[in-house]
Amino acid sequence: MEIFSPGHLIPLLIIAAVLFFGWKQLPDMAKSVGKSLRIFKTEMKGMSDDDEAREARKAEAIEAAPVTPAEAPKPSETAAPQPSTQPTSEASKPSAD
């Protein structure tokens, strides 16, 4: 019979928690954990509500300003990038010493 089998592990953890933290502190700790989980749950719900509101605003913005074919970029303009025409300085050229 193995002492760390799954059936024996839970009672061992409960006994260890009682011995380590004390009988009086366990209800307070459980209350704190429950309160923390409740706060975490409401914050996660608030984040998902924020995401839904952001998606709704984005959809409204797209519907409000539709792109007409005249405004759409031509495929030839987006296919090849334009070469840069920045002037080169004398200091950046390698010397032939």
pLDDT at 80 over 60: no
Residue 97, in any domain of the structure: no
- CA pair distance 33, 17, nearest whole angstrom: 15
- CA pair distance 22, 31, nearest whole angstrom: 15
Residue 67's pLDDT is: 57
Residue 85, in any domain of the structure: no
* Angle (deg, nearest 10), helices 25-64 and 6-21: 110
Residue 61, in any domain of the structure: yes
Confidence label for 76 from pLDDT (cuts 50, 70 and 90) = low
Residue 92, in any domain of the structure: no
Is the pTM higher than 0.85? no
The domain tally of the chain equals 1
Domain with 54, as residue range(s), is 24-66
| Mean pLDDT calculated for residue range 14-33 | 87
Give 61 or 19, the one with higher predicted confidence: 19
pLDDT at 39 over 90: yes
Burial string for 7-40 (b: 16+ CB within 10 Å, else e) reads eeeeeeeeeeeeeeeeeeeeeeeeeeeeeeeeee
